[in-house]
Chains A and B, each alone.
Chain A
Amino acid sequence: MTLAEKILSLHSTKKKLTPGEFVEADLDLVLANDITAPLAIEEFHRMGAQKVFDPRKVVMVSDHFVPAKDIPSAEQDKMMREFARSQNIIYFPPGRGIEHVVLPEEGLILPGYVVVGADSHTSTYGALGAFACGMGSTDIAHAMTLGKIWMKVPPTVKILYQGRLKKWVGGKDLILYTIGKMGVDGAIYKALEFGGEVARGLPMDGRFTMANMAVEAGAKAGMFPPDGITAEYVGKMEHSLLSLDEDAEYEKVMEFDVSLIEPQVSLPSSPENTKPISEVGNIEIDQVVIGSCTNGRLSDLKMSAAIMEGRSIHPRVRLIVIPGSQRVYLEALREGIIEAFIRAGGVVSAPTCGPCLGGHMGVLASGERCVATTNRNFVGRMGSPKSEVYLASPAVAAASAILGRIGSPDEVLSPVS
């Protein structure tokens, strides 16, 4: 069985699973946030439920429209907080961090878990070898109530990344490149399993970025088989999952030679609209956002800061940096990373999803262009329907902030005269 099939079978009554089968899977963790929890809580009550199935396995995170951006957002957040308190579930208050950064940090996700969350980027936890997927609020209400949910066993597509990564190319570039090749509907209903020597050597932060954006190819889950890097991160491991079955059946195996991949940029208005940085051309920008559940981790900020260090952002550009959690924020402070951003002319915000979905903390006006390390560049995603979002890595975002146009770190660090 593939990793996805193996995990789902261990969480159901069936010993062997094949793609297309329906199972009712036992859940290890159920998640909602300040946007999706209010609807889930309403449905929870309409279902006639009194108590969540296990308070230690239900998590709510205030991260989208917080610290509250307006009165309705404050009301939604309050509703969630009161529910969390009354049910005694795990709760992270506003500013504590973005759900998909915080949960792994807190050790709430382990390899082999089945996790569902009322947020499409729940797929992030596949980085740790969990089977994790996004669902809507009513599904989450059901999950909170019964601790299980129906799922269709997805076929698995294995993607092998071979070769040697070029300078400035990391997890973000690999996943943007992959989405560009597969298309935004290339993996609908499927699980992606990332493998090959490059995936095996990729540090945890890069893995989180890739699993996070698997959903942008339509995937149900994006997974890294647990290995030594996973074990080091979580401190322990379900040993039965360490070994991949030799005879696992994949729907398809794709192979990419990463030696040929440049830093990637997704042009408006679809994540599949990717181009290598050298082909993007001269595109002037107004704003840069570095952060989000995709790229708001310490190594992301570190990479950006290394390019910023001792330089100033372009006078036309607003730079907004959002550490993914208070833990990331503190560590970045200690390492002088935050200072580098502020000295360069950037603004550093408390952890929030904020601008990624056009909520607050950096909404775009009409005609404005933003380079963001986030995950979606749909029409109007970050504000005005007449604004544009370009997705890129923290390195390209930092370089672009300095250049005032989309550009590569090499142009900043070793400018050609």
Chain B
Amino acid sequence: MKFKGRAHKLGANVDTDAIIPARYLSTSDPQELAGHCLEGIEPDFMHKVKPGDILVADTNFGCGSSREHAPLAIKACGISCIIAKSFARIFFRNAINIGLAVLECEEANELHQGDVIEVDLEEGRITDNTTDKVLWSKPYPPFIQVIIQHGGLTEYTRKRLDEI
């Protein structure tokens, strides 16, 4: 899988209440959730974001609640992938499970707001077309690669059930 989009920078410890406040959790409709994505920290985010854009964050992205509504909202906004120095573990699992690409990259801070970024998920290569810098993400463990190849956990589990 390959992605190309503009970098949208966020800081450290972006929590799930900032990504999607709990008051919107009485629905699980991705489009409705997308309308409030990141409202907690950037009230006009959904107007700024363009399909394919890439979120670039510091450490501990997605900390807090287990709400899968958080990656669902981000994905439904049109964000193609998230690059962060590190992720909170539940968010990381949730993103992989729903088919939202998440890349752990120590040097994420070297990417700037508005840079045009290209990502090759298989190779883990992150190319900043604006600065010509090439960064590498931490490789996925084989277990997770299998889930990604299935497009998410639901499809993976469905196959496993078929095999039983």
Chain A residues packing against B (C-beta within 8 Å):
22, 35-36, 38-39, 42-43, 46-49, 64-65, 69-70, 72-73, 75-76, 117-120, 122, 134-139, 141-142, 145-146, 150, 152, 184-185, 188-189, 218, 220, 270, 357-359, 363, 376, 378-381, 385
Residues in A with CB closer than 8 Å to B13 are 184-185, 270
Partner of A35, one of B40, B67, B71, B86: B67
B128 at the A interface (CB under 8 A): no
Give the residue of A38, A184, A357 whose beta carbon is less than 8 angstroms from that of B65: A357
- Identify the B interface with A (CB < 8 A): 12-13, 15, 17-18, 21-23, 25-28, 40-41, 59-60, 63-69, 71, 86, 88-90, 93-94, 97-98, 141, 143, 152-154, 157-158, 160-162
Is the Cβ of A185 less than 8 Å from the Cβ of B22? no
- 7 residue pairs, one from A and one from B, having the closest CB atoms: A136-B94, A72-B26, A185-B60, A136-B68, A357-B22, A138-B97, A134-B66
B154, A136: Cβ atoms under 8 Å? no
Contact A139 B141 (CB under 8 A): no
Q: Using A137-B94, A139-B94, A378-B15 as known contacts, list a sample of 10 further A-B pairs with CB atoms less than 8 Å apart, ordered by residue number in A.
A: A118-B68, A119-B65, A122-B66, A138-B153, A139-B153, A145-B157, A358-B23, A376-B15, A378-B17, A381-B17
> Which A residues are in CB contact (< 8 Å) with B71?
136
Query: Can you identify 26 A-B contacts, CB atoms within 8 angstroms?
Result: A35-B67, A42-B28, A48-B158, A48-B161, A65-B25, A70-B26, A75-B26, A119-B66, A120-B66, A134-B66, A136-B66, A136-B67, A136-B93, A136-B97, A139-B97, A141-B153, A142-B157, A185-B12, A188-B60, A188-B89, A189-B89, A358-B21, A379-B40, A380-B17, A381-B17, A381-B22
Residue in A22, A188, A189 whose Cβ sees the most chain B Cβ within 10 Å: A188
Q: Check if A184 sits within 8 Å of B63, measured CB to CB.
A: yes
Whether B59 contacts A150 by the Cβ 8 Å rule is: no
Contact of A138 among B15, B60, B68 (CB under 8 A): B68
| Residue from B21, B22, B153 within 8 A of A142 (CB atoms) | B153
Q: Which residue of A lies closest to B70 (CB)?
A: A136
Note all chain A residues with C-beta closer than 8 A to B68: 36, 39, 118, 136-138
Tally inter-chain residue pairs, CB-CB below 8 A.
137
Considering the complex, give the chain A residue whose CB is closest to the CB of B68. Answer: A136
Residues on A with C-beta less than 8 A from B15 are 376, 378
Chain A contacts of B89 at CB under 8 A?
188-189, 218, 220
Q: In the assembly, what is the distance between CA of A136 and CA of B68, in Å?
A: 5
Which residues of A are found within 8 Å of B90, using beta-carbon distances? Answer: 120, 134-136
Known: A136-B94, A188-B89, A218-B89. A72 touches B17 (CB 8 A): no
Known: A138-B94, A184-B13, A185-B13. A48 touches B64 (CB 8 A): no
